Amino acid sequence: MYIHRGNMVTHAIVLFVDIRGFTRWSEGIEAFQYIDEFINKFVFV
């Protein structure tokens, strides 16, 4: 984060990774039904 010509500039890299099948926690795919809600709330932040 820095200030350029009086404006604050922030760079961010957001990476979503599908880890289903790699851990026991992620074996269930029931979270898929909530992905749209999650993305919409994330973008709002």
Residue 11: partners with Cβ closer than 8 Å, 6 or more residues away: 1
| 17 CA to centre of own chain | 9
The domain in which residue 33 lies consists of 2-44
Question: What gap in Å lies between CA 19 and CA 17, rounded to an integer?
Answer: 6
Residue 43 parent element (H or E)? helix 35-44
What global pTM score does this model have? Answer: 0.34
**Mean pLDDT in residue range 7-23:** 79
Give me the phi and psi of 3, to 5 degrees please: -105, 130
**Mean pLDDT in residue range 1-6:** 79
Structural domain total, the chain: 1
Mean pLDDT of the chain, nearest integer = 76
